[in-house]
Amino acid sequence: MRNVSKVLVAVALVSSLAGCVNSEQASSEPPGDVVSFPPPTSPEESAPESSAPESAPGSATSAPESSGVSTAVECTAKDIKVTGPANQHPTITVPKNCSAPTKLIVEDLKPGTGPEAAKGAQMQAHYALTAWSTGKEVETSYGQQPLDVPTVGSGLIEAWNQGLVGMKQGGRRLIVAPPDLAYAGSGNELQDETLVFVIDAVKVTPA
């Protein structure tokens, strides 16, 4: 099994992500981008050849403009499906019809009602981590002791340093970390990966 106490420590600060791979509970199909193509032109809509003016010798002919071809937009929190009750192991489904977010996403899935995790607070939390590119879960603390976060706002990957602030005890939060706020260039097995976390704030001790 995994050593939960070493997980999520910022590369520049403490240590690298360590965990027990748990890929059996999630999809193995990688996400993909969707390209929307323009509808075909009917014969009635096509202009006859005789109506098109001939270009003068040596003159430049401009290329036709693109008509509706676009790449997939970035996913939002609403595109990511999370099922399961708070404080129990969630199922995370990464969407396939939009691209990985390039900015940090922090979204409360269930607001807490207990003490708030301001900067400097202590927290015990359960979490599940899914890799965006594969859609597979790669780490979880459910079924084990919660992860101890000694100081909210520091000592972890930057996505957690920012994303845990403001959580309340009993709450569940989605954090999507782009590579530059996770393990970009670290040599970690999840280097340059977009990470999807679901976090349950089990206990919050104010600073």
Residues 145-187: tens digit of each pLDDT: 999 999 999 999 999 999 999 999 999 999 999 999 999 877 8
Would you say residue 61 lies in a domain?
no
pLDDT of 66 above 60:
no
Q: Can you give the C-alpha Rg of the chain in angstroms?
A: 23
Q: What is the DSSP letter of 87?
A: T
Where is pLDDT greater, at 44 or 101?
Answer: 101
Would you say residue 48 lies in a domain?
no
Those residues whose C-beta lies under 8 Å from the C-beta of residue 56, and which sit 6 or more positions away, are: none
CA–CA separation, 197 vs 27, rounded Å?
A: 16
CA distances from 67 to 4, 43, 46, 73 (A): 51, 17, 15, 17
Where is pLDDT greater, at 123 or 55?
Answer: 123
Q: Are 6 and 15 in contact (CB under 8 A)?
A: yes
Domains in the chain, number: 1
> pLDDT digits over 17-37, tens only?
333 334 334 433 433 333 333
Q: Are 186 and 10 in contact (CB under 8 A)?
A: no
Would you say residue 153 lies in a domain?
yes
Would you say residue 107 lies in a domain?
yes
Would you say residue 40 lies in a domain?
no
CA–CA separation, 12 vs 155, rounded Å?
A: 9
Nearest to residue 201, comparing CAs of 119, 98, 149, 123?
A: 123
- The residue range of the domain holding 136 is 4-32+73-205
> pLDDT digits over 92-108, tens only?
999 999 999 999 999 99
3 pLDDT band (50/70/90 cuts)? very low
Would you say residue 43 lies in a domain?
no
Write the CATH number for 191.
3.10.50.40
Would you say residue 189 lies in a domain?
yes
Would you say residue 38 lies in a domain?
no
